[in-house]
Amino acid sequence: MPTDAQVLIGKVLQIKDKLYAKRHFIPTDLQKEWNSLDKKTACFESHALFHTAVKGKQMNKKINYSGSVEELSQLVSRLSKLNKRVNITQTHH
């Protein structure tokens, strides 16, 4: 059974993937928020493994996140709000 933190990390990645796909549609007034959230969630990226992988050796993904479950919940909330705002601006164009 996944922990609360694991569920929230999954939500962070899911919403971030949606935003990443729409990154070219993020208005300039929301770019600062996107950049901030992108940096705060970079430790969850799956491609981070490729930078430290060694051929022939088993890898375990290490997450360098030291925040609490409450902070993760706030990240999910901020990403969700940004995603909704990007959807709204995208439909107006």
Which is more confident, 86 or 89?
A: 86
Q: Three-class SS of residue 66? A: coil
pLDDT in tens, 27-78: 999 999 999 999 988 887 765 555 566 777 776 666 667 788 999 999 999 9
User: How big is the CA angle at 4 (ends 71 and 68), to the nearest 5 degrees?
Assistant: 25
User: How big is the CA angle at 10 (ends 87 and 51), to the nearest 5 degrees?
Assistant: 100
Identify the H or E element spanning 69.
helix 69-92
The pLDDT value given to residue 89: 65
pTM for the structure as a whole: 0.76
Which is more confident, 92 or 86?
A: 86
